[in-house]
Chains A and B, each alone.
Chain A
Amino acid sequence: MRKSTVFSLFTLGNAILLALLLLYGRYGSGEAGAVQEASRNLVRELQLTDLCLFTEARYTRHPSMADLHSAFQDHPMALEHFPSGSMVSPPRFRRGRP
């Protein structure tokens, strides 16, 4: 087979695969909507405010409730103790205040 044919098929195949994956993501995962709904209801019932992503320390666990004396409100150049500090920035309404 010609090289250009092989390449075209390879590219086309990949493009179709990518399109299928993207479509699956958008329309295929129906049950995911139900799962999200259940999570949302649980959040509402328990009145939670944050995702449980950073459990290294007290002050990283609830970034949206963050206290003035916790790491995120430090001076922007302050070194972080935990990797989460380099991934989460202080809530926007906190920045700019002394």
Chain B
Amino acid sequence: MNRFVERHRSILDFALSSLLRRKGKNISLWVVYTLIVFLIAAIVFYTHALKREAAMILQGAPDIVVQKMVAGRQDLVPVGYVGKIAAIRGVGAVRPRLWGYYYDAVTGANYTLMAPDGSLPGPGTADIGSGVARTLRVVEGDFLPIRAVDGVPTLFQVRKVLPYASELATSDLILLSEDDLRALFAFPRGFATDLAVTVENPAERATVAAKIAAQFPESRPILNSEILRTYDSIFDWRGGMMVVMLGVAVFSFVIFAWDKATGLSAEERREIGILKSVGWETGDVLLLKFWEGAAISLAAFLCGVILAYVQVFFFSASLFEPALKGWAVLYPRFKLVPDVDPYQLAVLFFLTVVPYTVATIIPSWRAATVDPDAAMRS
């Protein structure tokens, strides 16, 4: 056992000496490799954690949302539907949702205006999300102007800023009383944006949705499961941005491996010949090459993944913000709950370490099997 360990350690010693001989090249190789791993790992961690977060938070979303379509486009839904849908068996409650979008020309930001059920802000007051507070630089007690459809701005006093912790879902919200919202948008009474239907038994939801669709052919029911599935597929690898990033990474890996795999230089061949002539066997030479490849790729993997974890979970993926924010003026600030999928990590490990190590060993195979006497004769 001891001999086994000692042999590996000695050969690893020499592998490291070998790598250090071309210090500049190998260190820059390791740095670049680490960066690539960092990029991929950060993307993987971020998207996985975000999806988990979405799945957790959006469990509170309505069971079914019913929209009304006219000529294939979404239209306002008559409040009269409420009673008829509530009569369907299995339906708990039906609440109309009143919400819309508001574009603020001054800041260039888009807000979501909403009149919630429950604890309404009183007339002339508004509850705002943290992102709104940030963009407009207002705090509780300040006044916030909103233009109505006729162009006349109305002032609303900020009653409350929604908790920072819920930014991911509420960042751009401006909550108003129903009357205020209807007045701003000239929203006709008797209509709502859509309906939120509660169905206690999850198994019955699809059935109820089908019944609604049957009873109101122009309606479009959206299930909670469909809402959740939307967020499952964000940052899907099929999305353009991801394809580019992953493609870049794969390409880089291929370049690294190619550099290794296109055979040995004459110098390297000579060295292997010398090693064989002083008593190293083929297996020893291959072990040397294995450690040369594994040392760099292992170090790159560990450093890259640790950096990615710290970036994503301790610094809120600040590096990705420009790409994710795009042209948006308002962007939520949130700290993701650390969650890593071990399967993804394992795959990343194999992709990082195995191809590179193999690419280092394979071309040496031929040179390693050379007869020891070759060094004598050259």
Contact = CB atoms under 8 A, between A and B. Distances in A.
A75 interface: no
A36 B323 contact: no
Interface in A70-91: 80, 82-89, 91
Nearest to B111: A55
Nearest to A41: B60
B277 interface: no
Interface residues of B, number: 89
Nearest to A48: B169
Contacts of A87: 234-235, 239-242, 324
Contacts of A92: 226, 229-230, 233
Interface of B: 9-10, 12-13, 16-17, 20, 53-54, 56-62, 65, 67, 69, 72-74, 95, 97, 101, 103, 109-112, 114, 116-119, 129, 131, 162-163, 165-173, 175, 194, 196, 222, 226-227, 229-231, 233-236, 238-242, 295, 298-299, 302-303, 305-306, 309-310, 313, 323-324, 326-332, 337-340
- Chain A CB count within 10 A is highest, among B175, B328, B331, for B328
B118 A45 contact: yes
Contacts of B323: 83
Among B60, B103, B131, B229, the one with the most A-chain Cβ atoms within 10 Å of its Cβ is B60
Given A17-B306, A43-B60, A91-B230, A57 B110 contact: yes
Contacts of B114: 46
A17 B20 CA distance: 25
B58 A42 contact: no
A36 B166 CA distance: 8
Interface of A: 2-5, 7-8, 10-11, 14-15, 17-18, 21-22, 24-26, 29, 32-33, 35-36, 38-58, 61, 63-65, 67-69, 80, 82-89, 91-93
A86 B243 CA distance: 9
Contacts of B313: 25
B233 A54 contact: no
